[in-house]
A and B are shown apart, each in its own frame.
Chain A
Amino acid sequence: MERNPLQRQVAYMRRSLFDQGYLDEQFVQLEDLQDDANPNFVEEIVTLFYTDSARLIHNIEQALESRPLDFIRLDDYMHQFKGSSSSIGAKKVKNECTQFREHCSARSAEGCVRTFQQVKQEHTILRRKLETYFQLARQAGLAN
């Protein structure tokens, strides 16, 4: 199928997200669930992820401020974060969540604090990239 320049740009951006390791095959599963009945499924579930994960991030930040650290509670929060990250194919975010949980197991406060910064960083980077991607995809769809 002949693509216009905007569509080619969208395809290239999508490919880059996979090639650079931001997304994994789970994102393709989301795309496969998108149909005429749910035409915006992918963007909606990603938006839902970012809304819900903001709450989790807040909870983790609060938990990291308490002393002594409750590693079990931190691990539970991050377990949930990992689950939802993996559900949308957020590969780097998921991997950082795994690292965080290892620091919880090792009861390393310093490790948890440091890794949490990485989790938040990857979370933010992916959000910006996906916002740009969806915006471009909408423009390409309208241009069609």
Chain B
Amino acid sequence: MKLLNGINSNKKSCQQGNGDLISDEKLTALVVDSDIICQVLEKAILESQGIQAQVVGSGRDAIDLLASGVNFDLIIIAMVLPIMNGVETTRQIRAMGIRSKMLGVTACSYERERRAFLDAGVDEFIEKPLTPQKLASVLREIRNA
């Protein structure tokens, strides 16, 4: 299916040029979500906003990718992830010294979840689904930085 092929091919294209991103002009984003629907939707929304997006399905994959030296302007990370959840993944990403803007997302925003995510190091927290409107203020901050 075209949508899934778009997700799978992205990994190859972003790693061309020794891990450097293809375009210096576009903002870049990493989507960390194990849910295929959310992966497809979030990537599509980001690309509709002119952002080059890559998708991984687990916290471990995200950490491995970031550890390889690939940088992103924005990291969108789900709360529920296999093996290592979003909160712990965020903690480890911040411990690596990654200063990218991080947006935590979850299907159900209980206050305790929100607090845990923010304490771990996300800059903002939203309830799924992601929309261009919810992204707007985050993107403004990144572009103005």
Contacts and interface: CB of A to CB of B under 8 A. Distances in A.
Nearest to B37: A84
Contacts of B3: 41, 44-45, 48
A87 B43 CA distance: 12
Nearest to B127: A86
A45 B129 contact: no
A33 B44 contact: yes
Nearest to B45: A33
Given A26-B131, A48-B1, A38 B44 contact: yes
A83 B35 contact: yes
A40 B44 CA distance: 13
Interface residues of A, number: 25
Interface residues of B, number: 23
Interface of B: 1-4, 34-38, 40-41, 44-45, 48, 78, 80, 106-108, 128-129, 131-132
29 contacts: A29-B45, A29-B129, A29-B131, A29-B132, A33-B48, A38-B2, A45-B3, A45-B41, A48-B36, A48-B40, A49-B37, A79-B80, A79-B107, A80-B34, A80-B80, A80-B107, A83-B35, A83-B38, A83-B107, A83-B128, A84-B35, A84-B36, A84-B38, A86-B107, A86-B128, A87-B35, A87-B41, A87-B129, A88-B37
